[in-house]
Amino acid sequence: MGPAGHAVWLHSLGNVLRCGPLDGLRSAKALTVELWVRASTPLNGSLDLHCAGGPQPGIDFAFSLTKDGHLSGAFREKNSWFGVPSVFQPQPGVWQHIAIVCDDQSISAYVNGRAAGNTAGGLAGLLHGRPLAIFVTADQISEPFSIELDELRVWSVARNAKQIRNAMNRTVAPIERGLVGYWRFDEGGGQIARDLSLSAAHAQLGETVMPDGSDPLWLVSDVPLTRTATEKPARSAEQGSALEFDGTDDYVDMGNAPELRIANAVTVEAWIKPAIVKGERPILSKEVARGRQNAFELLVRDGHLGFRVSDGTAGCCGDQGWFPATGKTPIEPGFWHHAAGVYDGQQVSVYLDGVLEGSVAFENPIAHVPTSVKLGINSLVSSKFFAGQMDEVRLWNRARSQSEIFDSMNRLLRGNEPGLVGYWTFDEAANAAASSATCQVVFDHSRHNNHGVLGGSMARDSKDPRPVISEAPVAPTTESWGAKEAQASVGRTAQSRPLLRLWTSLSVWQRIYSP
C-alpha cells in the first residue's frame, strides 16, 4: 500500500491465498469486489477469485479476469457462466484498479473508477458467505503467469461509480457500511494476511500454515494509495481473553521465522494460571526433545518454575544438553503468576512474579534448531503439555533486566519495544465466529507478524486451546491502546492498575520476607 505498505505477488505455479468465510455476505442481495492489480509480462493467464466451499457445497461467486481484458464468472443460483467482454486493457507493469459490481439486475465492471462494461443478469438469490480463494492461472504450463495484488475489498452492497472513484486511492475505515472483507496486505511477512473488516476472514498464504512453494510472496507496494486518519481496525471487542490448554494435546505453533532463531540473548515472559503443576508443563519452547536439537524452554516442572537453554553440544535425551535455572517458590494450581526466563550470554535466570528465583552459569550461544516456537507443548516428539490458562506471552531477542520485567509485567506493551520479536495477547480469539479463520489464529502484536496457529492447523480440532475471559492482572495504558480504549476495556481497566500493582507488591513481599 504505497511506499510504506506491502502487496502480495501470486504466481501460476501453485500460489494461493485462502481466506476465511465472508460472514458479512450471508443473505446479501448485492456484491462489490475491488482490488488493485499489476500484471507481469507476458500476459498469458488470468486472476481468479472463487468464493466457494464451506459447510455447504457450491459457490457464492467465481470471477476470472483474463489476459484479453475479459471478465467472466458465475453464481451458484444461475448455474451458468456470464461474460463481460473487453472490460479493460491490461498494462504490464502498471497498477490498475478493478471493481466488479453485482445486484439482482446486472453485472458491471469499472477500471480506474470508470465504467468499462456490463451485462444483464446479476444475483438471482441470496449469498451464503463462503470462504474466498484467490489464485492465478496460466494459459499454458510452459508459460507461467504472475500478478501483484493489493488493497482487496469485498462489500455486501452495490457500490456506484462515484463511491468507487472517491475511495479507490485511499484506505477506508474497516467499519464502513457494507464492508465485509478488507485485506491491505501490509503485514509484509508471515503466513497470515489480516482481514480488517468485522468478518475477520483472515487469509492464509499457501496451502499450509508453514512456508512452502504455494505461498505468495510479500513485496513492497507502490500502489497509488494514501492512508487516511479513519483507518483504525475494528478491534474494540478484541480485549481481555486468554487461552486455556487442556493438558492433553492443546498447543499453539508460532512458526520458525528468522527473528525467532535467537542465539545470543533471550527473554521469555508469560502470565500463567496452571491447573496441574506435577510433571513437566511447557509454557513456551523451541525444541525437538533431543539434546542436540533443543534451544530454550520456559516451563513448570514438579511445582516450580524453570527456564533452560541448550547449546546443542551434548546428549540425546532427558536433561542432557540443558542448562536449567529452577525456581524455589512452589507454584499452586489455580492462581495467576508472571513467569519469565532470561539468558544474557553469561547466565540463565528464572523470575516468578518479577523476583529472581534461580540462576545457573552458561556462556555459549543458544543452539540453532530447525523447529518452530510453540506454546503449551515441548515438541511433537515425546510430547508434554501445559494444563491451565495462559496470557500475555512475550518473546525478546535481548536479556531484559529484573526492573524491566517488573515494571511492564502488569501492563500491555505498545508492540514496538526494542528487541520484542513476538507478542501474543490472545485478545482476538474470544470474539471470533466459529466459522471464521480468525478462530485458528493468534496474532503477533509486535512488528514481526509471527502469528500463531491453534493446534498447528487452520482446521478446528481437539488440539486447539480454548479462548476464555482473562483474569490475568494486566491493564492497558494510554501508551499501548490510547485513553479511550483503556477506559472501555472489559476486565483490564486502567483504573485497576493501582490494585494490580498492590496485588503484585504483596505477592512479592510475601515471598521475599516469609520464612
Task: Give pLDDT tens digits for 67-79.
Answer: 777 888 887 654 5
Cα distance between residue 98 and residue 318, in whole Å: 58
Task: Determine the Cα–Cα distance for residues 75 and 80; give it in Å rounded to an integer.
Answer: 7
pLDDT given at position 3? 41
In degrees and rounded to multiples of 5, residue 49 shows phi and psi of: -125, 115
Taken in order 431, 433, 439, 441, the sign of the CA dihedral is negative
Reply yes or no on whether the pLDDT at 109 is more than 70. Answer: yes
Record the cell numbers describing residue 414, joined without a space: 505498545
User: Closest Cα partner for 295 from 279, 284, 306, 281?
Assistant: 284
What is the structure's pLDDT at 429? Answer: 58
The closest of 482, 496, 412 to 236, measured between CA atoms, is: 482
CA 181 to chain centre: 16
Q: Looking at the predicted structure, is the pLDDT value of residue 438 above 70? A: no
Where are any strands of DSSP class E within 179-260? 179-183, 192-193, 203-205, 217-220, 241-246, 252-253
Average pLDDT over residues 253-282: 94
Rounded to whole angstroms, how far apart are CA atoms 242 and 389? 7
Q: What is the pLDDT of residue 22?
A: 87
- Tell me if 30 sits within 8 A of 108, measured CB to CB: no
Residue 228: predicted pLDDT:
67
Q: What is the pLDDT of residue 325?
A: 96
List, in order of start, the domains of the chain with CATH numbers.
6-220 (2.60.120.200), 241-479 (2.60.120.200)
Who wins on pLDDT, 299 or 204?
A: 299
Closest C-alpha among 163, 158, 227, 171 to residue 197: 171
Cα-flanking dihedrals φ and ψ of residue 2, to 5°?
65, -175
Other CB atoms within a 10 A radius of the CB of residue 395 amount to 28
Q: What are phi and psi of 357, to 5 degrees?
A: -110, -20
pLDDT for 204 beyond 70 = yes
d(CA 129, CA 135): 19
Percent of all residues in the chain with a pLDDT value above 90, rounded to a whole number? 40
Residue 254 CB-half CA count within 13 A: 31
Structure confidence at residue 334 (pLDDT): 92
DSSP class per residue in 85-128: TT-----TTS-EEEEEEE-SSEEEEEETTEEEEEEE----S---
pLDDT for 55 equals 61
pLDDT given at position 281: 97
User: Which of the residue ranges 78-87, 116-125, 457-466 would you say has the lowest mean pLDDT?
Assistant: 78-87
Residue 185 — pLDDT band, cuts 50, 70, 90?
Answer: very high
The pLDDT tens digits for 304-362 are: 999 999 988 765 555 667 899 999 999 989 999 999 999 999 999 999 999 999 999 99
Which string of DSSP letters, residue by residue, matches 299-329? EEETTEEEEEEE-S-S-SSTTTTEEEEE-SS
What is the mean predicted confidence (pLDDT) over 116-130? 81
Nearest to 428 by CA among 416, 444, 450: 444
pLDDT given at position 2: 42
CB-based contact 180:156 (threshold 8 Å):
yes
Residue 423: its pLDDT value, please? 96
Q: How far is residue 350's CA from residue 328's CA, in Å, rounded to a whole number?
A: 10
- Give the span between the Cα atoms of 208 and 18, in whole angstroms: 10
Q: Which residue has the higher pLDDT, 59 or 465?
A: 465
